[in-house]
Chain A
Amino acid sequence: MKFLRTAIIAFFLVQTFAYAQSNISNTANEDIVVGITSTMATANVSHRGTPVTIKRIQDPSNKLVDDFAKTSRPCPPFCVHPMQAASGVKTVGELDVVSFLQNQVEAGSGLLIDARMPKFYNSETIPGSINIPFVLFTSSAKDILPLLGVTGSDGNWNYNAAMELLLWCNGPWCDQSPRAIQALVKEGYPEAKIKYYRGGMQLWKIFGLTTIQPVSNEVGTN
């Protein structure tokens, strides 16, 4: 009889364990139906030391419903932007951003810069980005440049050890990163070390790529 009692309890435990196990395997081996490219299903990067897997939203019927679904905003100032932010500065796309994160940023030789004002950054950003609002480039470049590996002093900058920068903002209708880039070029930052992700948050979101919220905007927690 004791044996049977044990058997019942064992049955119980096995059931629970099997259920838990099925849950774990569901999340671990989730089938990627929407990959990033045909050869890249997801991409592993890190945001301030925490690993983040960049993947696309897996529901093929998903649509944007927030403010990034908008077609129109007042122009000026939210106008259609030219392809280049400054002459000599390369314009790049999403795959270049991922590769930049996995290579230059990972190696510490590059920075992915969200050039938007802090509220935008805190609400939602591309994993791996740091926030340097464009106004710092236009008004206090001499304080910012030393943080980017530039040596020397105002008027006599040495850009030999300057980091590679990839700047982005809200998208092709946003002037924040172009302003930052133009201010950098004006200061003498080598154009070859600056890249412009014109698609910005707008295209990142339209592809359903992973974003993070650096400052939680959860309401009603108390």
Chain B
Amino acid sequence: MAKPKNAPSTFLIANIILAMLIGVILWFLLLKGQDQLNQTNVAPLSLQGLSEKDRKEIADLQTQLELEKARAEQSREKLRARKLEHALLAEKERTKKTDTEQASAPLQATLALSNELESEKARIKEMIIAQMKGATENKRLAQALENKNQQLAAVTQQKNALEQRFKSLNSDTQTLLNSLASESIQASDQDYLQALQGDVSAFLTDESRAALTSAKAGDVDLLNQIEISDTNDTSLPTANLRAQVGALMTQEQRANQQKSQLNVLVSTPIPTPSNASLQDRIDALISSNAEREAAQAAEVQFNKDNQYLSSLNVIEKERENETRWVTVREGDTLWIIAKRAYDDGWLYPKIFAANPQILSNPDRISTGQRLRVPL
């Protein structure tokens, strides 16, 4: 498996060993030289039996030795002086340092200010996070809107069913009129009846449609439900709707009454029909609700964002997995790193594959190096 080799540190160690080796050899040689010198000193000088020339030479050497000793003494003096000088310098340095510490007080203040700024930044970040939480609230509102839309759809469906019923009832009326016409009726009444038939048709077209559209008490219940869920929402004109239903209920009763009157062919004054058909009114009701439209547009945007966000989650996770990394420690091998990053040493080739620019050779990783370890 891979072994960590650090080329620069090998170079350094080699240098150190070389230097130490040279040092030891020189030291050894020096010690040897001094031993020889000591041995020479130990043997007392015997002047007997020496020639005049030798004696003179020895005397000269002794004089020289004295001179050397004097010079050595001088050197020691110099050394002492230099030591004192060093001590003085060190003292100066210490004093200077104390001064610098005193001077750094304004710097400390600046640092404190910078820390304060950092915490302010953190506060703003928290604010942004809080705003993101606001998005969840929007989602809840969009859900409420969706519920209302479903209720509206239910009402529209009810309306369509009622229109269907109106059609069938209208044909019932026609049948009734036909049967009435077929009965023996006084000739003087025939013309009036014919004329009446036209008016009644027209009346029924508006009046009975209105009646049938609102028809059942069940509709009122539905509208009540809508109102309950809308108590805080002024965007839906529920009150209007309820008033309309009330009016329509009355109209239904009137239509029924009219129908029974028709059965006995009593000519009564015909009330003026309302000009706007129910369809028109419902259309107006839906299209006049600008706020609802805006809310629907917002909902569409929200759904669009939401779908996009769920797609984003996938590549977001992938990005996060791709940017994992480890630092190579002293004594690490790819196996150890794989064990640390993936909990499985056998996955070491994955690290090799993820770091082609660094690992030209799997045996070469160095301490402190950053390696990608994607999942």
Contacts and interface: CB of A to CB of B under 8 A. Distances in A.
Interface of A: 1, 4-5, 8, 11-12, 15-16, 19, 23, 48, 57, 59, 61-63, 65-67, 73-74, 77-78, 117, 119-120, 122-124, 132-133, 135-136, 138-140, 143-144, 147, 170, 175-176, 179, 213, 217-221
Nearest to B124: A147
Nearest to B135: A139
A48 B118 CA distance: 10
Contact of A220 (B301, B320, B326, B374): B326
Contacts of B326: 218-220
Contact of A218 (B23, B34, B325): B325
Contacts of A221: 327
B353 A8 contact: no
B25 to A, nearest CB: 10
Contact of B23 (A8, A16, A65, A138): A8
B301 A138 contact: yes
A211 B159 CA distance: 62
Interface in B10-34: 11-12, 15-16, 19, 22-23, 26-27, 30-31, 34
A120 B26 contact: no
B354 interface: yes
A12 B16 contact: yes
19 contacts: A4-B27, A11-B22, A15-B15, A66-B322, A66-B372, A77-B307, A117-B316, A120-B319, A124-B323, A136-B128, A136-B132, A138-B301, A139-B305, A140-B131, A140-B132, A140-B138, A143-B131, A144-B131, A213-B323
A219 B135 contact: no
A140 to B, nearest CB: 5
B348 to A, nearest CB: 14
Contacts, number: 122
Given A15-B16, A59-B357, A218-B325, 9 more contacts: A1-B34, A15-B19, A16-B15, A67-B315, A67-B318, A123-B323, A135-B309, A136-B132, A220-B341
A140 B15 CA distance: 65
Given A4-B26, A15-B19, A143-B131, A62 B357 contact: yes
B203 interface: no
A67 B319 contact: yes
A144 to B, nearest CB: 7
Contacts of B23: 5, 8, 12
Contact of B311 (A23, A74, A135): A74
B368 interface: no
Contacts of A124: 319, 323
B302 interface: yes
A119 B313 CA distance: 9
B94 interface: no
A151 B34 CA distance: 90
A220 B372 CA distance: 12
Contacts of B317: 119
B324 A217 contact: yes
B16 to A, nearest CB: 7
Given A77-B311, A136-B128, A140-B135, A217 B323 contact: yes
A213 B301 CA distance: 32
Nearest to B26: A4
B356 interface: yes
Contacts of B15: 15-16, 19
B269 interface: no
Contacts of A119: 316-317, 319-320
| Most chain A beta-carbon contacts within 10 A, residue among B19, B138, B356 | B19
Contacts of A218: 324-327
A7 to B, nearest CB: 8
A219 B311 contact: no
B128 to A, nearest CB: 7
Interface string B149-193: 000000000000000000000000000000000000000000000
B302 A219 contact: no
3 closest A-B pairs by beta carbon, nearest first, are A220-B340, A8-B23, A123-B323
Contacts of B318: 67
A120 B128 CA distance: 16
A63 B356 CA distance: 8
B132 to A, nearest CB: 7
B323 to A, nearest CB: 4
Nearest to B306: A135
B134 interface: yes
A179 B305 contact: yes
A61 B337 CA distance: 25
Interface in B265-301: 301
B71 to A, nearest CB: 15
Contacts of B12: 16, 19
A144 B22 CA distance: 72
Contacts of A8: 19, 22-23, 26-27
A213 B23 CA distance: 49
Contacts of A16: 12, 15
Given A4-B30, A135-B305, A117 B312 contact: yes
Contacts of B374: 66
Contacts of B124: 147
Nearest to B373: A219
Most interface-central of B132, B302, B340, B374 (chain A CB within 10 A): B132
Contact of B19 (A11, A61, A63, A136): A11
